[in-house]
Chains A and B, each alone.
Chain A
Amino acid sequence: KQEVTQIPAALSVPEGENLVLNCSFTDSAIYNLQWFRQDPGKGLTSLLLIQSSQREQTSGRLNASLDKSSGRSTLYIAASQPGDSATYLCAASNQAGTALIFGKGTTLSVSS
């Protein structure tokens, strides 16, 4: 059964810093890997989707990579801003049509 782990659980950085959030998964036979953002008391905002045939995806200051062989994905945030403060969730699905399995998230705090 797929298990997703995220490290660190919490991260505090000053504004402007580049940072990396880590995600690992136990079953490398993934179909999709998605990164989400969740603000307190809110739903999920999809940030990036990486299909199993892809190695990375980029959107603005965000870059997500996928290494199936090592069972890892990273979310790189460039030039962090206070508005980036949120919980970032990594999730993986193993087949088309199946649910995402979520990690516990990394709570990011960016100070001005």
Chain B
Amino acid sequence: GAVVSQHPSRVICKSGTSVKIECRSLDFQATTMFWYRQFPKKSLMLMATSNEGSKATYEQGVEKDKFLINHASLTLSTLTVTSAHPEDSSFYICSGQDRGRSGELFFGEGSRLTVL
């Protein structure tokens, strides 16, 4: 299958700082990428849809000013958690859609964020 690389895999930061997570599609062009959040022993919750060259679409209840998403190229989307708070600690996973493969979604390995 197609490969999506997510970095960093783990990050620890202090409250009030900002953290950027990168999501890259390595062998396909992803005009659309999706960002999910997963709490311990819970399922994946969609946070936002990222479209290359345009503003992201956020799900209800997700603060767009806190979770900044940028999709500047066909292979890179970034999620920046601003003014991080301990309640932002979670597992964040991105996915890219390969339209050449029947719209199948491929997921990154996820980023574990811990805010102290």
Contacts and interface: CB of A to CB of B under 8 A. Distances in A.
Contacts of A42: 109-110
A107 to B, nearest CB: 9
Interface stretch (B39-47, B63-71, B78-86): B39-47
Which 3 pairs show the lowest CB-CB distances between chains A and B? A43-B109, A44-B107, A43-B110
A13 B43 CA distance: 22
A106 to B, nearest CB: 11
A35 B20 CA distance: 29
Contacts of B49: 98-99
B46 A101 contact: yes
Nearest to B48: A99
A25 interface: no
Given A41-B112, A42-B110, A103-B43, A96 B6 contact: no
A43 B103 contact: no
B76 interface: no
Interface of A: 31-32, 34, 36, 41-46, 49, 51, 89, 91, 93, 96-105
Contacts of B91: 41
A45 B110 CA distance: 11
Contacts of B99: 96-97
Contacts, number: 61
B102 A97 contact: no
Contact of B43 (A32, A96, A98, A104): A104
Contacts of B46: 99-101
Nearest to B59: A99
A49 B102 CA distance: 9
Contact of B93 (A31, A43, A46, A103): A43
A46 B106 contact: yes
